[in-house]
């Protein structure tokens, strides 16, 4: 299955909306701490990628333990959860407003969802 031009355009549009929501959550309320959500969602796929490359490079032998891959998934899950929980924590402690937190969470989920969708549509297929 190949991804076409419509897929690229639609995913780019969703990514732009996500960034717009995060930037507006900062600019409208003059609190720039929700911008940290972008950093967590951009860094979130990196542990999966690094640990996937460091895992067993031999495709023919299946190992019984994939601790490295599991650790990468754990770190990715932590970063995604932090991207959702950080604006909620800041809003609960009244550092930012709840509207800014909701805009930041929604924008962050759109950003991470777009990153995952790009990965699903453009991953290389193995030829065995």
103 in a structural domain: yes
8 in a structural domain: no
55 in a structural domain: yes
- State the pTM of this model: 0.79
> Which run of H or E residues covers position 10?
helix 5-27
38 in a structural domain: yes
Q: What is the pLDDT of residues 31-90, one digit of tens each?
A: 888 888 888 888 888 998 888 788 766 655 555 558 888 898 999 999 989 999 999 999
128 in a structural domain: no
Q: Give Cβ neighbours of residue 80 (< 8 Å, ≥ 6 apart).
A: 40, 41, 44, 112
Q: Range with the lowest mean pLDDT among 14-18, 87-91, 92-96, 111-115?
A: 111-115
23 in a structural domain: no
Helices 98-121/67-92 angle, 10° precision: 160
Predicted pLDDT of residue 125: 65
Instruction: Give me the domain span that covers residue 71.
Output: 32-121
74 in a structural domain: yes
92 in a structural domain: yes
Number of separate domains in the chain: 1
């Amino acid at each position: 299955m190949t991804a076409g031009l419509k897929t690229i355009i639609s995913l780019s549009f969703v990514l732009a909306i996500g960034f717009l929501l995060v930037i507006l959550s900062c600019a409208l309320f003059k609190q720039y701490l929700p911008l940290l959500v972008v950093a967590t969602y951009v860094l979130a796929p990196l542990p999966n990628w690094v640990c996937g490359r460091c895992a067993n490079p031999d495709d023919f032998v299946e190992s019984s333990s994939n601790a490295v891959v599991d650790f990468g998934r754990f770190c990715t899950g932590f970063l995604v959860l932090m991207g959702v929980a950080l604006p909620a924590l800041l809003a609960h402690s009244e550092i930012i407003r709840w509207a800014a937190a909701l805009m930041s969470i929604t924008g962050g989920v759109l950003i991470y969802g777009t990153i995952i969708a790009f990965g699903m549509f453009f991953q290389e297929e193995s030829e065995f």
